[in-house]
Structure 1
Amino acid sequence: MIKEQALLESRTLRENVRGRTETLDKVKALTLLPDGLHVTTALVATYFVVHRSTIKNLVARHRQELTESGLTVLQGADLQKFVGLKMSPTDESYPQGNRRHLTLYTRRTVLNIAMLLRDSPVAREVRAYLLDAVEGNGTPASDLEPRVAALEGLMADIGPALRDLGMVLHRSDQRVVHSLRRVDNRLEKTEWIVAGMSARLAELAGDPVIANRLRRRRRGRP
């Protein structure tokens, strides 16, 4: 039986089980960024109900291990590209415009943090579910690791594709609306011309009453 203390102290053990990201959802929902793959430091802190500085200090102490589990720091052109293509900033947890760098975490990184964060009740609960899963009869965690990595890679491609599809559909909708407006304008102009011709024909036929009615209708009067 694996003890919680062993999980906290053994990096090798943590590496063997960090593919079990489903244990995060057993405790509470993890809010992801709009790309469906990453979270920020603020969102990680919210999940574990700790201050951001606690997460930052933990990252500073275990940066190499967390980098191996998916931690990424974006800056410069990479940061601008990420924010521009994948984000829809709506609150303070999302990347904002004047950042110099942005630290991103995957679900595996968050689970790795749960195995390092000693004083968070949420992290302790995640560890409890994780140990239960490891001791059960499910798929070995070492087999889950490459599967989770492959799935995250696919999600990284799907997110931008969906965003691009939404932009294409929006442009198509705008073109359809514009075309319908043009058709309406042409119909109105055609009706106006037909009404004028009808009035003229009525005059030629010697029926001034009908001609007058047609002219009034052409001008929008009853």
Structure 2
Amino acid sequence: MPAGHAYGRHPSAGSVIEQVANVSALRPWSPGRGLSLSLSRSEGMPMPTEVALLESRALRVEQMGRVDALDKVKSLAMLPDGIHVRTEDVARYFEVSTEVVKKVIQRHRAEMEENGLRLLRGSDLRVFNRDMMSLLGEGQGESYPQAPAQLTLFTRRTVLNVAMLLRDSDIARCVRTYLLDAEHDLRAGYASLEHRVTRVESCLSGVGSALQELGPVLNRMSLRLDSLDRRLEVTQQVIGSMSVRLGGVSQDIVGLDGRMDGFARNLKDLNRRNRSR
């Protein structure tokens, strides 16, 4: 493995053969179908393999947004605009010859053009070279190599496309491995989230049944509270009637007090008369 790798794990030939055997055991092979999926033993979910990534354009399309995988494996030298890369820079990144990169372009040009591959000639090339020179600036002691007739430009997306097509490069293999590992981690995260959502749903189901059982209890409590309200209303009426009667009793007591005072005076008068005799 080259020393420039930042991400050094990649599947061995034995593991790829084992994955091929697993898929063959699951579905009978038919011409034109190719190898597309194997089952992840950890999750029981369909997982793409490196071989599938090399052969399936649909799987490559799904991974095209993961351009960060390039710098995770190895630093990619860009042109001064920070957007484009030349053929020789791509070959240097993957540690292969430029002819190998050109053969990949020839076999998959339509796909790579969809992912940013450009071929500049004539005035377009002159404008691009002028822009690169202006970005480099004057007095920096750097020179920008200019193609005399044409220039093939790659974007990060195009370089990632090459990584998923280039078979004989350890760097490309590491990029594919990084993509597949990230896909596995993502699916594992989805599985964990689905499990947690299932647990929440089961808890909500228990809450629903508890609420259903609580409904009749609340209904009975409501009836009892209504009955208590009626009894309180009757009690208030009784208390009001008693208050009226107590008002009359109070007046009677006042009259009785007056009569008792008169009776007391009469007794005093009677006592004085008895003493005078």
TM-score where L is the length of structure 1: 0.58
Aligned residue number for residue 88 of structure 2: 42
Correspondence 1:43-192 to 2 at 5 A: 43-87=89-133, 88=136, 90=142, 94-96=144-146, 99-137=148-186
- Larger RCO (alpha carbons 8 Å, 6+ apart): 1
Q: What stretches of structure 1 move > 6 A for 4+ residues in a row? A: none
Shift of 1:100: 0.7
- Count residues in correspondence: 137
- Aligned residue type for 1:137: L
- State the one-letter code of the partner of 1:117: L
In the aligned structure 1, how far is the partner of 2:181 from the partner of 2:155?
22
Look up the equivalent residue of 2:102 and give its one-letter code: K
Deviation string, structure 1 residues 87-133 (Cα, Å, up to 9, x no partner): 44946xx541x511100000000000000000100000010001112
Supply the distance in 1 between the matched residues of 2:56 and 2:119 (Cα, whole angstroms): 25
Q: Helix, strand or coil for the counterpart of 1:73?
A: strand
C-alpha separation between the residues in 2 aligned to 1:6 and 1:95? 38
Amino acid of the residue matched to residue 122 of structure 1?
A: I
Structure 2: gaps of 5 or more residues: 1-46, 191-277
Q: Distance in 1 between matches of 2:92 and 2:119?
A: 19
Matched, 1:15 2:64: no
Give structure 1 stretches of 5+ with no counterpart: 141-222
Q: Deviations along 1:169-209, whole A, 9 cap, x unmatched?
A: xxxxxxxxxxxxxxxxxxxxxxxxxxxxxxxxxxxxxxxxx
- Contact 1:7–1:13 (8 Å) recurs in 2: yes
2:86 maps to a residue whose letter is: T
SS of equivalent to 2:152: strand
For the 8 Å contact 1:35–1:86, the answer to whether it is kept is: yes
Instruction: Report the residue type matching 1:40 in the other structure.
Output: R
Deviation at 1:77, TM superposition (A): 0.4
Give the aligned residue type for 1:18: M
Q: Residue 137 of structure 1: CA displacement? A: 2.5
Larger radius of gyration: 2
**Amino acid corresponding to residue 30 of structure 1 in structure 2:** L
State percent identity of aligned pairs: 53
Deviation digits for residues 155-179 of structure 1 (CA, Å, limit 9, x no counterpart): xxxxxxxxxxxxxxxxxxxxxxxxx
Q: 2: CA distance between counterparts of 1:64 and 1:99? A: 25
